[in-house]
Amino acid sequence: MRILFVGDVVGRTGRAAIAEHLPGMIRDWALDLVIVNGENAAGGFGITESIYQEFVDAGADAITLGNHAWDQREALVFIERAPRLVRPANFPTGTPGRGTALIDTKNGKRALVINAIGRIFMTAFDDPFAVINRELEACPLRGAADAIVVDFHCEATSEKQGIGFFCDGRASLVVGTHTHVPTADHQILRGGTAYMTDAGMTGDYDSIIGMQKEEPLRRFTLGIPSARFEPAMGAATLSAVAVETDDATGLALRIAPVRVGGRLEPTLPKFWDAQG
């Protein structure tokens, strides 16, 4: 199975990069499963129903969230009629929506998408290790799903790595989101799980994690907020991770970073040619 996971989409410029690049990637690379983290898609904070539909129309099979899941209040309502929208599974019991989704892939197989949120340097929700373990046991790789992707939305790299090793051999891909900077540690762990600490953001990198620089710098230097954060509006880099799995096991065969457009040096997966 060919999987593409796209890092946090930030604001209008990030959405434009999705519309420009994603449909061609799906076609040229014959992608089977596309997951997009959309928790910063609406002006940098949250997601709306129309943006969710934009991503689905561009070819996303699932859209994951994070700590900004409810910044657009309409998300609390429309998530119930948005089966491809997945919020962190370790939010409290009774939270609207779903923390996992079993997706029909483009090649007719089934993929489990799990979203969870970390606790170090963040609001301490339920134990992500216990919650992810519960979901992996309920829908095991090859037993009930042909592929499993875990989006771990987390601040601390150590906690992300811990989840990676915790899931090794039980998931196809564990990828971190939230910090908006792509890491260079993409690898296949010993048990066969593809891992990357952070996929990076799909947004303007002439910014401070996607936001216009002036207000964050003012707060860093003076400690006084004077305006709200606004997304940077320059050309976006689409940042993602590409994974190919073994159909027999659901585990990873190859992993590579993806960066297209904007300011960052471009990189594409060499194991997929232009004809897919």
- Assign 17 to helix, strand or coil: helix
Q: Which amino acid is at 64?
A: T
Q: Which amino acid is at 19?
A: A
Nearest-5° Cα angle at 120, 116 to 121: 115
Q: Which amino acid is at 124?
A: A
| 270 burial type by CB count under 10 A (0-12 exposed, 13-18 middle, 19+ buried) | exposed
153 is annotated as an active-site residue: no
Q: Which amino acid is at 171?
A: A
> Rounded distance, CA 26 to CA 23, Å?
5
Catalytic site residue from 21, 68, 153, 178: 68
Cβ-Cβ contacts under 8 Å for 101 (sequence gap 6 or more): 62, 83, 84, 86, 112, 113
- The DSSP element (H or E) to which 6 belongs, if any, is strand 2-6
Q: Which residues are catalytic?
A: 68
